[in-house]
Amino acid sequence: MANSDFFEKVYAIVARIPEGKVTSYGAIAKAIGSAKSSRTVGYAMNACVKLDRDLPAHRVVNRNGVLTGKHHFPGQDTMRKLLEEEGLNIENDQIKNFKFYFWEPPINQ
């Protein structure tokens, strides 16, 4: 408990997101065990940037597949660019075929 277990779990899952795949805050929260703490997941992402973590936060979007947090990246189009580089198609800040690219985090960890 040096750091909140919540954050650690979030980071552990985000770090395991395969390249070219995406997941949602809610899915991560659910995998952790607190499906309703999706807000905190987002907060963890914001914190992860400040902590200089090497997490693919750009692979985490809201449940609609919308790049809600793109504004938090260094450059408003950084998130979209990163995702496109991984083979995803973004339209109007929303991931196309989101369902197809969706990656379900490991529930038991």
Partner DNA sequence: GACTTGACAATCC
Partner DNA sequence: AGGATTGCCAAGT
Q: How many residues does the chain have?
A: 109
The nearest distance, CB 108 to DNA, in angstroms, is: 18
The nearest distance, CB 106 to DNA, in angstroms, is: 17
Binding mask 12-41 for DNA (x = CB under 7 A): ------------xxx--x----xxxxxxxx
Site for DNA in 45-84 (CB under 7 A): 45-49, 57-58, 60, 62-64, 68-73, 79
From the centroid of its chain, how far is CA 51?
A: 16
Residue 25: DSSP 8-state: H
> 20, 88 in Cβ contact below 8 A?
yes
